[in-house]
Structures are given as structure tokens and as C-alpha cells.
């Protein structure tokens, strides 16, 4: 095995894993605070891809040709609008059913997922869409024949992903909002007795998760340049796999699970078979659920008596 091939697959896996980690944060935060899985989260990521294309088209129409400025504005607008989507999903699909069985919100979230898919398909069309290349150029290491390359957009993906994760970790650990989130997660009733608006905190968690998915959507769209209305399903399931692998409910676990899943998938694609990489990812999910259901950094749930 040539070293440069392995190194290139590791670079690709790190880039892919950073995206999975960002999306997995939404799953793990929602599960951590209300104990439920938001299966519409992958489609929020899909919506952010379309918002990215719309924002870039509008900025181009106004004659803005500065790539850094266009990316920052696109990122800010997409995060804000997808945050509204996340808030709406919590209000429509989860809050009215919070006191019911666990199955009801799950079915409701799947219904919201189908609504988002069909809404985007009808409004934007079923054909794949694309965006122009805003960031070009590569960094190469090695000789002319044996080298490892990483594009500028891949570097941007890794840097922004880890920066977003670091900022979110600081918010959860060191701010008043973070303390309220942790209190709501540990005991919602006691947090409400102590004066915390738990409904507002839960809505905020949905907004934060959607914003993280928006960052992933913008970066992936700029990297690959094309997308369609169905990209949220497979990517969402893989991000859920990453959340379970790292330990659902754990923010560091979500990022770790995403990185590991991206690396495993990239190595499998490069050295085994690209056609079965999705099968490999879902098989990994089954194995994790069988042998370590709490994940790598998760804690087993202890039933209080």
C-alpha cells in the first residue's frame, strides 16, 4: 500500500467526518435534552443546501464577487433561516406531543421530514441543482507522482467545523444558556421549579442544532457544487450513526463519532468497494448498537428507583 493513497483517504475521511460531526450535534443535543430523535434533522440540512444556492444567486445578482464576503453572508443567512426551521419543527412536531408516548413524536418527525422533502421538490424542482465554484486551489505535499492534496474548501470545512464545535462547547460549559441547557437535560421538572423556562431552552436547542446543520449544508454545497431534495435522508442517517457511535447525548462524542465514521467510510471506499460504503456505514451502526449501545463517550442510562 502506497503511503500517499492512505494519506489521501485519511484527508478525505477527515473532511467527510467533520460534516457528519456537525450534523450529528443536532441529533445528540435534541436527544440529550428531551430524550427523542429528531428524524427531520437531515432534511433541515437538505434545506440549507438550497438556501445556500439561493443566497449565492442573489449575491451574484447584486454584483458581489468577493468570495469571503459571499461565504460569510451566505453562512449567516442560512444559519438564521434554518434556525427558524428548527424552531418551527419543535413547535409543530414535538411540543404538542411532549407528554404523549415516545412513538408519537417519532412519527410526527418522520412526517415533517416527508413534508420538507416534498415542499422542496415542488418549489425548487426534482432535478439536481448546482452552485458556482467560489473557492478554488489546492495544497499538495509529496513528489510529482506520489502526493497528497487538500483543496482550500476541504481545509475550510475542517477549520470551520472544529471552530463551530469549540464555540458550542464553550457555550454549553461556560455560559448561562449552557447551564440552563444542562439543568434542563438533567431534570426538566426541577429546572422549571428553579425558574428556568424549559420550553424556551428546548426550542433554543432545536435552533442550535439546525444552525449546525446549516453550517454543514453550506460547506458541503460549496465543496461538491451539486445537490438535490433527497440528500438529507442518507446523510441524516449517517450523521445519526455518528451520534450513536460517539455516544448520543455527548457533544464531544458527536464530533468523535463523525470523524471516525468519515475515516472508516473513506478507507472502505478507497481500499474495498465504493458501491457498498453506505452498507458499511449502516452495518457499523448495527454493530455499535449490539456491542456498545451507549457509544464511545456516552454513559449508560441508569434507571432511578
pLDDT digits (tens, 9 = 90+) for 71-123: 999 999 999 999 999 999 999 888 888 777 778 888 888 899 999 999 999 99
Judged by average pLDDT, the poorest of 168-177, 201-210, 222-231, 291-300 is: 291-300
Long-range Cβ contacts of 285-293 (<8 Å, 24+ apart): 285/240, 285/241, 285/244, 285/245, 288/241, 288/244, 288/245, 289/244, 293/244
**pLDDT band per the 50, 70, 90 thresholds, residue 304:** very low
> Is the CB of residue 259 less than 8 Å from the CB of residue 245?
no
Q: What percent of the chain has pLDDT over 70?
A: 96
Of 2-11, 126-135, 151-160, the range with the highest mean pLDDT is 151-160
Give the pLDDT confidence of 174-202 residue by residue, as tens digits.
Answer: 999 999 999 998 888 899 998 999 999 99
Q: What percent of the chain has pLDDT over 90?
A: 41
What's the pLDDT at 14? 92
Whether the pTM exceeds 0.85: the reply is: yes
Give the pLDDT confidence of 29-44 residue by residue, as tens digits.
Answer: 888 888 888 889 999 9
- CATH number for domain 22-136+146-291, candidates 1.10.3470, 3.30.930, 3.90.660, 3.90.70: 1.10.3470
Give the pLDDT confidence of 209-255 residue by residue, as tens digits.
Answer: 999 999 999 999 998 888 888 898 888 988 998 998 888 888 888 89
Residue 127, pLDDT > 60, answer yes
Residue 304 CB burial class (10 angstroms; 0-12, 13-18, ≥19): exposed
Give the ranges where the chain is alpha helix by DSSP (H): 3-34, 41-61, 67-89, 103-124, 152-174, 176-186, 188-193, 198-224, 231-246, 251-271, 277-291
Residue 274, pLDDT > 80, answer yes
Alpha-carbon torsion angle 55, 60, 61, 62, nearest 10 = 100
Residue 1, pLDDT > 60, answer no
Q: Is 285 left (phi over 0), alpha (psi -120 to 50) or beta?
A: alpha
- CA distances (Å), 233 to each of 43, 61, 110, 124, 142, in order? 7, 31, 11, 17, 38
Phi, psi at 66, each rounded to 5°: -85, 115
- CA distances (Å), 101 to each of 72, 94, 110, 163, 178, in order? 42, 11, 15, 37, 28
What's the pLDDT at 23? 93
Amino acid at each position: 500500500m502506497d503511503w500517499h493513497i492512505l494519506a489521501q483517504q485519511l484527508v478525505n475521511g477527515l473532511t467527510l467526518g467533520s460534516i457528519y460531526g456537525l450534523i450529528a450535534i443536532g441529533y445528540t443535543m435534541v436527544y440529550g435534552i428531551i430524550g427523542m430523535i429528531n428524524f427531520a434533522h437531515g432534511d433541515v440540512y437538505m434545506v440549507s443546501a438550497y438556501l445556500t444556492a439561493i443566497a449565492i444567486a442573489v449575491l451574484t445578482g447584486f454584483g458581489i464577487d468577493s468570495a469571503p464576503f459571499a461565504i460569510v453572508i451566505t453562512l449567516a443567512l442560512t444559519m438564521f433561516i434554518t434556525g427558524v426551521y428548527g424552531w418551527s419543527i419543535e413547535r409543530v412536531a414535538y411540543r404538542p406531543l411532549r407528554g404523549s408516548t415516545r412513538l408519537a413524536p417519532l412519527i410526527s418527525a418522520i412526517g415533517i421530514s416527508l413534508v420538507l422533502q416534498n415542499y422542496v421538490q415542488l418549489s425548487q424542482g426534482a432535478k439536481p441543482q448546482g452552485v458556482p465554484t467560489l473557492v478554488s486551489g489546492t495544497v499538495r505535499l509529496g513528489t510529482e507522482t506520489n502526493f497528497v492534496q487538500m483543496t482550500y474548501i476541504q481545509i475550510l470545512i475542517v477549520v470551520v467545523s472544529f471552530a463551530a464545535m469549540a464555540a458550542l462547547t464553550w457555550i454549553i460549559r461556560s455560559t448561562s444558556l449552557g447551564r440552563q441547557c444542562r439543568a434542563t437535560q438533567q431534570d426538566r421538572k426541577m429546572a422549571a421549579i428553579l425558574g428556568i423556562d424549559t420550553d424556551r431552552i428546548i426550542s433554543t436547542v432545536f435552533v442550535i442544532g439546525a444552525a449546525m446543520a446549516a453550517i454543514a449544508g453550506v460547506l458541503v454545497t460549496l465543496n461538491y457544487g451539486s445537490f438535490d431534495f433527497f440528500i438529507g435522508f442518507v446523510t441524516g442517517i449517517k450523521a445519526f450513526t455518528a451520534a450513536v457511535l460517539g455516544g448520543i447525548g455527548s457533544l464531544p462524542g458527536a464530533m468523535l463519532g463523525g470523524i471516525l465514521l468519515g475515516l472508516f467510510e473513506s478507507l472502505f471506499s478507497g481500499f474495498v468497494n465504493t458501491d457498498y460504503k453506505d452498507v458499511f456505514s449502516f452495518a457499523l451502526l448495527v454493530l455499535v448498537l449490539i456491542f456498545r449501545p451507549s457509544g464511545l463517550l456516552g454513559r449508560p442510562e441508569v434507571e432511578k428507583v
